[in-house]
Amino acid sequence: MAVVYQTMTAEIHRASRPSARSPRGDVVLAAPSVADGVAIRCLVDASKPLDANSTYAYLLLCRHFADTCVHAKRDGRTVGFASAYRPPLSRDVVFVWQVAVAQELRGQGLGKAMLRELLSRQSLRGCCYLETTVAPSNEPSRRMFRSLARELDAPVEEGVLFEEADFGGDRHEREALIRIGPFAARQPKGEPLHES
């Protein structure tokens, strides 16, 4: 089964297998596999202001957390990635760690489509809150999460997860906590367009 999401310039397909192919030019969403780890690290590295983690960290995400990560490919190339996990002590929460979209596809709905795909996963059954952090200067990220909250008809609370001082000597902005929810366990409104 494939679910097709439409952006301005491309269709976005959800695939149940990482190796799934799509018509040329369309974007395929799937869980990542270990073979995607290096390309994902390169995408994050090119997606400032994100902090790129080690290749090993992305390999672990692809190996152990694939069910809660989303990988987007177009013509065989990595064009998007969202990492997330269920915090062990808060089983009704999904924590979204990093979201990155290739420069040429930004502003076309791919970031939000990956979050919708994430929330539709069986692995997130029982989750009714999404948490993430956003640096105060990252307006595109804040807008993406606020827009998702509107689609979900869910309230948004803001707090602080990590203060500047928590980063020690690193020059790092405070990380504001955004908590969306509660939301019903369902497909957010408006998407997908159709299933085939």
Q: Which residues bind ligand COA (CB under 6 A)?
A: 47, 49-50, 98-101, 106-112, 138, 140-141, 143-144, 147
Smallest distance, ligand COA to C-beta of residue 48, A: 7
* DSSP annotation of 102: -
Distance in Å, CB of 111 to ligand COA, minimum: 3
CB 169 within 8 A of CB 128: no
Q: Give all strands of the β-sheet with 11-14 in edge-to-edge order.
A: 156-162, 175-180, 129-134, 93-101, 77-85, 70-74, 27-30, 11-14, 3-6, 194-195
Closer of 87 and 107 to ligand COA (Cβ): 107
Question: In whole angstroms, how close is the CB of 133 to ligand COA at the nearest point?
Answer: 8
Q: Tell me the β-bridge partners of 134.
A: 176
Report the nearest approach of ligand COA to the CB of residue 91 (Å): 22
Q: How far is the CB of 12 from ligand COA (least distance, A)?
A: 10
Among residues 195, 41, 14, 24, the alpha carbon closest in space to that of 115 is found at 14
CB-nearer residue toward ligand COA: 22 or 47: 47
Q: Answer whether 135's CB lies under 8 Å from 173's CB.
A: yes
d(C-alpha 61, C-alpha 13), whole Å: 22
Which of 54, 122 has the CB closer to ligand COA?
54
Nearer to ligand COA, 123 or 138 (CB): 138
For residues 181-192, one letter each, b for 16 or more C-beta atoms within 10 angstroms of the residue's C-beta and e for the rest, the string is: bebeeeebeebb
Which residue in the block uniquely carries the two structure tokens 């906590």?
Answer: 177
Q: Which residue is nearest to ligand COA (CB)?
A: 111
17 versus 149: smaller Cβ distance to ligand COA? 149
